[in-house]
Structure formats: structure tokens, C-alpha cells
């Protein structure tokens, strides 16, 4: 009897990291280009929108090529998303500091939109109060960036104000007051 031995051709960690960074860079460029395309269409600048559409197609091709390249490597890497409360809290704390530094006139960009959808909103429904509190603080900072965003998430802050623990309620109340001070009552 001859046994069959399979050998995995492993990439070193730095090569894997380079691929991940390149893919992340392409994803950010793709989000930014899509955002610019939406603005061009809204301003009816269709010639520039056409150029941006071509760039989006090109970036999608690069993205799929990178994904295929990663898939074709003989090692199967399992990406484990850390969702323990300590990691989420650290991420939200960094996000909160970032949001405090972002210029109010700049508004929310595509990168921050991604952070809001993947980190802040899920953080508000987390079972750990410290994570929820930091997510509410982040949501409050986001609300100061855009009146439209603030009005879209007003009901969420009001729900937190009604049902959460006292510390989280106070953070939601502070966020609401900050938004009223910036945008007024409408």
C-alpha cells in the first residue's frame, strides 16, 4: 500500500499580508470611485461619469484578479474575524478618536460609510454595555458630520435612550444634544 501525501505550498506571512493590503487598497479606491460617480450623476456631469464608470470596471477586474490569485494559492487561509468585546471596544475607541479629528466640513466619505456599516451599527446591538456605549459615542460623532446622517439615525439614538443602561442612555442623550446644538431643532 502506498500512501498519498499532499503537500501544501505555503506562502509566507509577508506575501499574504501584501496581497491583503493590495486588495484592501483596491476596495477603498472602488468605494471612492463609486462615490465620485454618484456625485457626477447627481450633477449631471455624464462625460466624467463615463470615465469613472470605466475606472470602476477596471478596478472590479483588478479586485477579481486578486481574489482569484488568493484563491488559487495552494494554501487555504481562514480569516477569523475577531468579535470579542475587548477587540470591538478597541476598534470603536480608535474610530471615536478618528471621528473627533475629522473635519466637520469634510463630511462622511465612503471609508467612514464602511466603518459605520461594519463596526458602529453592529456595535450598538452588542450584548456588552461598554461596546454599546462606545458605538453610541461613535454614532453621535458621525451625526455631527452630516445633518442627513443625524436625521436618519435619530430614531436609533431615541431607542437607545429608552431601553439601554444608564451610561449608554447618557451617551445617547449627549449625542442628541450635540446634534441639536450643531443643526438646531427641525
Which pLDDT band holds residue 17 (cuts at 50, 70, 90)? confident
Helix H or strand E segment including 2: none
Tell whether the model's pLDDT for residue 13 goes beyond 50: yes
Give the separation between CA 69 and CA 71, rounded to whole angstroms: 5
pTM for the structure as a whole: 0.58
Compute the average pLDDT of residues 16-26. 84
The candidate with the shortest Cα–Cα distance to 27, out of 66, 68, 73, 82, is 66
Give me the chain's average pLDDT, please: 82
Same domain, 100 and 177: yes
Q: In this structure, is residue 80 part of a structural domain? A: no
Q: How many domains does the chain fold into?
A: 2
- CB atoms inside a 10 Å sphere around CB 91: 20
Same domain, 62 and 20: yes
pLDDT for residue 83? 66
Same domain, 43 and 93: no
Same domain, 96 and 177: yes
pLDDT for residue 108? 63
pLDDT in tens, 93-148: 998 998 888 766 566 677 788 888 888 999 998 899 999 999 999 999 988 888 88
Helix H or strand E segment including 161: helix 154-163
Same domain, 60 and 98: no
Same domain, 90 and 23: no
Same domain, 63 and 143: no
Give the separation between CA 56 and CA 47, rounded to whole angstroms: 14
Q: In this structure, is residue 23 part of a structural domain? A: yes
pLDDT for residue 73? 60
Q: In this structure, is residue 130 part of a structural domain? A: yes
Give the residue numbers spanning the domain of 120: 85-183
Q: In this structure, is residue 110 part of a structural domain? A: yes
DSSP 70: H
Same domain, 104 and 30: no
pLDDT for residue 51? 92
Same domain, 106 and 129: yes
Amino acid at each position: 500500500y502506498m500512501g498519498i501525501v499532499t503537500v501544501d505550498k505555503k506562502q509566507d506571512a509577508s506575501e499574504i499580508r501584501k496581497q491583503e493590503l493590495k486588495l484592501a487598497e483596491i476596495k477603498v479606491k472602488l468605494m471612492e470611485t463609486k462615490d465620485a460617480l454618484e456625485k457626477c450623476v447627481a450633477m449631471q456631469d455624464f462625460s466624467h461619469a463615463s470615465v469613472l464608470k470605466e475606472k470602476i470596471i477596471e478596478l472590479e477586474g483588478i479586485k477579481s484578479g486578486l481574489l482569484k490569485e488568493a484563491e488559487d494559492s495552494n494554501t487555504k487561509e481562514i480569516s477569523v474575524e475577531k468579535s470579542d468585546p475587548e477587540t470591538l471596544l478597541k476598534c470603536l475607541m480608535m474610530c471615536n478618536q478618528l471621528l473627533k479629528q475629522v473635519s466637520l466640513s469634510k463630511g462622511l466619505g465612503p471609508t467612514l460609510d464602511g466603518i459605520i456599516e461594519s463596526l458602529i451599527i453592529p456595535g450598538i446591538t452588542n450584548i456588552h454595555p461598554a461596546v454599546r456605549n462606545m458605538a453610541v459615542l461613535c454614532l453621535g460623532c458621525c451625526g455631527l458630520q452630516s445633518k442627513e446622517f443625524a436625521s436618519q439615525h435619530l430614531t436609533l439614538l431615541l431607542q437607545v435612550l429608552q431601553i439601554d443602561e444608564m451610561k449608554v442612555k447618557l451617551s445617547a442623550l449627549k449625542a442628541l444634544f450635540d446634534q441639536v446644538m450643531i443643526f438646531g431643532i427641525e
